[in-house]
Structure 1
């Protein structure tokens, strides 16, 4: 491809290239022909879920229990290709694998892993991850949802969550709550909650201007009773949910580039075909400047994502490095989508073309799993040694 000026494809192994091509073909055949109608009608394609399971992208970075066990780079490339279709589809894969499945795989009991992970990897069971609350979106330490131990050793959940992806279509939720009667550092615990449990209420958030081919919900727990074995035994404190968030943030650093690449390629092709004033739009200096600027940021973002992937596969990836990838790549991807839309002129505001849809979606991607401000302060703390989160 002419726009791979740095020939980054040469940095990938045959297995990585094969995985990328497989997911790209799936996206071209199953997502792109349908995404405009899914987005317009605010429809999440549930029939795609088992197909994603067969594709091997659900929990694909996890090993054992029916999970594919692929590399971090292969997962990143898959996220990129899925988000070239739509952020909502990549978000499903992220919520299922990087959040819900990772929580069970890393912090669950052996029985919980055996019970849930194989079916989730096949796409037969959908999971969601309930951490964010209406009053504490960026501050999980301030969560108010409570888990109170009952006389028989079980638990009762009470509280609310917001912006929980897939909750109204999921069969299970990984819910994080503040427990009582334990030391402050261990107060946050995780629970596996079947969504048909009495007291579990999920209401889709509508209407939305972003992520319309996805589902986000408000949750409410009203005296929801759980058995003792619903607790994730190894997750104590915020380390549990944060470890899952870092998995999701890593995937976002790759995925956002898919939206950017698709927008760039759309604008590049359009500018070659469009002939204002009897010349190809791509022959004008202002258009070429936009295309070059987009290509530069796209390739720099790909270099960053690939470096993060190599570090992750080597077991050396640090949280501040993940923040750098999420902050930079989503921010620059959004700029690329807006620049691409400008090349399309008036046609760019229709669903026939992808850049504005991608840009709308990226407004959500930029917000979830840590806003720009949160990741800026994470990096600021790394640079200065001072935390600016609390006075």
Structure 2
């Protein structure tokens, strides 16, 4: 019996040391103590114990004595690693190293430190930022709407453009020292979100100058002279910037742009100076048709060695005035009726002096690093914010519409099929808004999490597509028929634009999220690659044996969690008790992801970056874990409002179901079948139990967005305040606001209906006034209540009706209105100039 205990102690001890990734010193002490215990209790012969010690001692000494380990094990390993290490170009390396890692690294490492996440301050606005959101942003929403911008102006109206410039919308990220607003990332995000609940052209026109573009590049890399010249002008809206990166033959593969600039000398301001002779073909450049200053990325070539460095310095960024000789700009693309200003720009052998290089001569060749570092932050704001805004528009308006719209004598929101769609809409909005908020909070803490920004861009835009599509299905013909009363059709048309820009979503999923994540977020891989390439044996040795310990640790953890179903995984203290299963599930999935990543890198090797289906599934697991933890963090940040629990449960269960589906698909399709079998046996020996939100949860979520209350208010917070005096589209909200009182009247009259004194309230709103008049005549309701019912009926009818037009769709009238307004704007401009 004692012998069995002694042997079991060896197995248990080794497992515990592996589970906790113990240092070799602890292994040495543990094995020595185990052998000593065997001798002390006489559990094995002296000869057997001596053989054990003779076998263990050299191995332990080799692994423990660092100089010996480096010489015998690490140097040969470094040579082998160099041979199999995937080669990265300079542009790939810049992309991988852009930004930094944050909570995403914790999720990738198999043992997330919850204190790090929960200690991140909740995003907040300063009083000045809140006032700007409540006043200036609200007014810009009043001035812009999707129908006028798409059907009349094909742009923002002149009045909206003027207001946006005058009030500093184009300079929100520019510091106050240069005349800008100096807003936080969260304030920037909130402004774009609100504008997107009203008008996509307004949102895009504001977000581009504040995102990846000249202002941000100047702030981080510009010379003092460039900052002093351009930033005040950009802040005042005197200059409108755009940035030209995309080339017809280098779209998503932007690092391969074929636009070139040859270093040469040329005349500038009356003297010969050093510069570039640049030729370019760019497209999809937002704000290009109206831009006054053009940011341009090109590949610099120095064949004559005029810069005294490399013959091909690399991608470089310049800032060129619109009226610079040779610049062709002004034509427009037509991106799916989004009608924001977007178009091409070209140039042939345009001489650009060196002073126009962003950052000056020292930054020649540094453009790709600039772009990747700025994109690492900007991608976390612009598209997540605008798509959360569109999603809130859909949920807020559709939730109100289904409450007031009746079919078969009941609100259409009462039908289970409709509730299923409503639940998806609301659940996805809760989740994507949580992601948006957490990403902005990270930026405001000084982080530049490139992997997180890619996750936010991809998953928020994809879920916005689901939300808007479901909304269109629910409102049916109301969404199909275009007109000023249609609140959703333009969003439906514009969703593919978000899917495409800032890295097409297919590429973002299969290459960027996991491609960067596998290298940047892994605790050892990037160090191994750097030190192996540089031949630095000391850090390589530490990383190599850290990696080995990390791999075996995750094997032990995965097996433990797999056998127990994760029931004994620890959870952070002080969190909502009812949500602890989600914390446990996150830790278990994190361990599975870490183990699957290491086995995939080991078995697939350098070919992994070409296995888009495999990396996409691994990236899906990482992404769903980030979404899930964003949801949990949001619930804590908002003070655990119990009313929001249906949203939380739906979003968390959906994320886990998606992560589970990705895991099962990974095992079924892994290119190395032995690795897949090992992962199944170690990580999920009894399978993986994840399920989508059930019907009860869906019904609870759907109910919350069909009635007034704090849960609905928090879900759509930050939206434009729809007012009937500004736009008749607000009729849906007015009717929704009156609906509870009308329902209360109906409930009060149930007894009279049963007694036959009055009929049931008709679902035909044109007859509702007669019904109310009858009730008033019998003394069942007051005159004030009859007036309230009349107001409800009028606005609800307005909400339900769809627009119709003259046979020519009033095109002539619309054009006349546009021309008259443009003429008036021109007069105003002349008066100001005079």
- Normalised by the size of structure 2, how large is the TM-score? 0.43
Are positions 1:293 and 2:293 aligned together?
no
Distance 1:226 1:11, change over 3 A: closer
Which of 378, 385, 392 is the equivalent residue of 1:254?
Answer: 385
- By how many angstroms is 1:11 displaced? 6.7
Q: Take 1:335 and 1:27, find their aligned partners in 2: how far apart are those partners?
A: 28
Distance 1:177 1:41, change over 3 A: same
Which of 76, 80, 87 is the equivalent residue of 2:193?
Answer: 80
Match in the other structure for 2:456: 325
Distance 1:57 1:353, change over 3 A: same
Residues 309-340 of structure 1, C-alpha deviations (whole Å, 9 max, x = no match): 11111112310011111111111111111111
Report the secondary structure of 1:260's partner residue: helix
Query: 2:280·2:346 contact (CA, 8 Å) conserved in 1?
Result: yes
RMSD: 2.4
Report the secondary structure of 2:218's partner residue: helix
- By how many angstroms is 1:204 displaced? 2.9
Match in the other structure for 1:241: 371
Q: Take 2:136 and 2:512, find their aligned partners in 1: how far apart are those partners?
A: 33
Distance 1:107 1:186, change over 3 A: farther
Query: 1:53·1:123 contact (CA, 8 Å) conserved in 2?
Result: yes
Q: Take 2:262 and 2:223, find their aligned partners in 1: how far apart are those partners?
A: 20
Are positions 1:188 and 2:318 aligned together?
no
- More displaced 10-residue stretch of structure 1: 371-380 or 10-19: 10-19
Match in the other structure for 1:359: 492
Residues 223-259 of structure 1, C-alpha deviations (whole Å, 9 max, x = no match): 2122221111264141112233334312221221001
Report the secondary structure of 2:289's partner residue: coil
Match in the other structure for 1:217: 343
Q: How does 1:261-276 map to 2 (within 5 A)?
A: 261-276=392-407
Q: How does 1:1-391 map to 2 (within 5 A)?
A: 12-13=124-125, 15=127, 17-22=130-135, 24-32=137-145, 35-41=146-152, 43-45=154-156, 46-63=158-175, 64-98=177-211, 99-151=213-265, 152-181=273-302, 183=310, 186-212=313-339, 214-232=340-358, 233=360, 235=363, 236-251=366-381, 252-349=383-480, 350-351=482-483, 352-376=485-509, 377-385=511-519, 388=609
Distance 1:138 1:201, change over 3 A: same
Residues 95-119 of structure 1, C-alpha deviations (whole Å, 9 max, x = no match): 2121221122222111111111111
Structure 1: any 5+ residue segments left out of the alignment? 1-9
Q: Which has the larger share of helix?
A: 2
Q: Take 1:348 and 1:61, find their aligned partners in 2: how far apart are those partners?
A: 36
Query: 1:266·1:340 contact (CA, 8 Å) conserved in 2?
Result: no
Q: Take 1:72 and 1:119, find their aligned partners in 2: how far apart are those partners?
A: 21
Report the secondary structure of 1:226's partner residue: strand
Query: 2:241·2:287 contact (CA, 8 Å) conserved in 1?
Result: yes
- By how many angstroms is 1:36 displaced? 0.2
Structure 2: any 5+ residue segments left out of the alignment? 1-121, 266-272, 303-308, 520-605, 613-834
Query: 2:277·2:350 contact (CA, 8 Å) conserved in 1?
Result: yes
- By how many angstroms is 1:186 displaced? 4.2
Query: 1:27·1:81 contact (CA, 8 Å) conserved in 2?
Result: no
Distance 1:101 1:13, change over 3 A: closer
Query: 2:293·2:319 contact (CA, 8 Å) conserved in 1?
Result: yes
Count of residues in Structure 1 that have an aligned counterpart in Structure 2: 379
Query: 2:141·2:198 contact (CA, 8 Å) conserved in 1?
Result: yes
Query: 2:284·2:333 contact (CA, 8 Å) conserved in 1?
Result: no
Report the secondary structure of 1:68's partner residue: coil
- More displaced 10-residue stretch of structure 1: 92-101 or 327-336: 92-101
- Normalised by the size of structure 1, how large is the TM-score? 0.89
Distance 1:371 1:23, change over 3 A: farther
Higher RCO (CA < 8 A, seq sep 6+) = 1
Query: 1:57·1:75 contact (CA, 8 Å) conserved in 2?
Result: no
Report the secondary structure of 1:308's partner residue: helix
Q: Take 1:185 and 1:359, find their aligned partners in 2: how far apart are those partners?
A: 44
Match in the other structure for 1:7: none
Q: Take 2:469 and 2:322, find their aligned partners in 1: how far apart are those partners?
A: 39
Report the secondary structure of 2:350's partner residue: strand
Q: Take 1:268 and 1:184, find their aligned partners in 2: how far apart are those partners?
A: 61
Q: Take 1:178 and 1:119, find their aligned partners in 2: how far apart are those partners?
A: 28
Query: 1:95·1:248 contact (CA, 8 Å) conserved in 2?
Result: no
Q: Take 2:319 and 2:445, find their aligned partners in 1: how far apart are those partners?
A: 31
Q: Take 1:282 and 1:224, find their aligned partners in 2: how far apart are those partners?
A: 60
Match in the other structure for 1:3: none
Distance 1:165 1:299, change over 3 A: same
- By how many angstroms is 1:187 displaced? 0.9
- By how many angstroms is 1:19 displaced? 4.3
- By how many angstroms is 1:82 displaced? 1.3
Q: Take 1:211 and 1:389, find their aligned partners in 2: how far apart are those partners?
A: 34
